Structure 1
Amino acid sequence: MNTVGIIGAGEVGSNIARALISIGYNVVVANSRGPETLRQLIQSLGPSARAATAAEAAEAGDFVVIAVPLKLANDMPVMELAGKIVLDTNNYMSWRDGNYPMIDSGERTVYELRQEHLPTSKVVQAFTHIQAPRITNAGLPRGARRRLAFPISSNFPEAIELVAALFDRLGYDTVDNSPLRESWKTAPGQPAWRDLNHQNRDELIENISKAQRFVLR
């Protein structure tokens, strides 16, 4: 695997692209406005990056990063994402995404909804607990006491394995909080979210254990 499709070219998507290029990946980047609007970004990323449509990025990637809000789910290239591991970077923010009653009621998590929108893909929560500019520069060697840790969640063990290995190469630890229905434990407002800037693996495990479910009515 050496090519990653990235759908979303904002702060999150562009910083993930830089991080992946730094460890040897090629990236194919798409946004909602068309490849011609990405010239400046692609130039800054260098020869390991190229611009494409969302469908082209999905088809080209050995795995794919989605760095756009859930509200744009209808714009996802479902067919081209079929069978692929899809890293979902989204955190549910009602002020941005609008209200999703199934999430607010606790019936579904945001990643379960993404999985339902992409029924033939293998969705995994990833890159949700780090500020975008830090993705490229906050990594530490394996075993470092203050190495940051991030939650990952999926219904597919192979997706967890891929993302855990990817984060390790980037200098981060992970905590498997699978399956997707358990991902509410790291959602905004939970202890794991409040400490996202500085928690190591042991601290993240403890914070996940402190999660309390609350329902918006």
Structure 2
Amino acid sequence: MITVTADATSSQDTLKAVELHLESFDRLDALVNVVGQSDRGRIEDLDAQKLRELFDANVISALQCSQACLPALRQTRGAIVNIGSLASRVAPRFLGGYVIVKHALAGMTRQMRMECEADGVHVGLVCPGPIAGKHAPNRYGVDEESNVPADAAAPGGGAKLQLLDPVDVAQAVIRCIVKREIEIIMPPKTRLLMGINAVSPKLADWILSKKSSK
């Protein structure tokens, strides 16, 4: 195993990281883009510079790393897995720019999959809900001046969902690579809301409003 420190939003850094990997292992079978940053706040208060930072962390990093890895992945018919979120598929309140960039990541993943399939490279998306772990009290920058409910600071923005076991999420990523699954949504029961949203966005919004931060 080797460890490389790099800026995932820098094309030079990502290319160098891939070079170092190939020097050590001579092949690359999978890339998991797990770099990301969340946010809290109202859209009316969203600062444009903050949104750019979120794009860099959640979208540009995945783009740069994927571009650097694709030549090697074509040689092994490997896989790319992007870590999205339930916010890649629905838009709860008070998540600031996070919903915007996670939707963008989902769109990029779908386009990459359509373009890379001919070269034998699988591109999948894993969309987990809130994950259990040690979360700092003010991890998302929610304070008295943020103008959002206090429960929005919780993982998942206050969504009424049981926290996912990180091991289960890791196993989903492995399944996405090995079985070449296109998209995995966690927990599975949230797929129902995605289906309702496709048929009746108004009903889906009402359900979401009852199941997330108010």
Please give the TM-score of this superposition, normalised by the length of structure 1: 0.36
Q: Which has the higher strand share?
A: 1
Q: Which has the higher helix share?
A: 2
Greater Rg over alpha carbons, structure: 2
Please give the TM-score of this superposition, normalised by the length of structure 2: 0.37
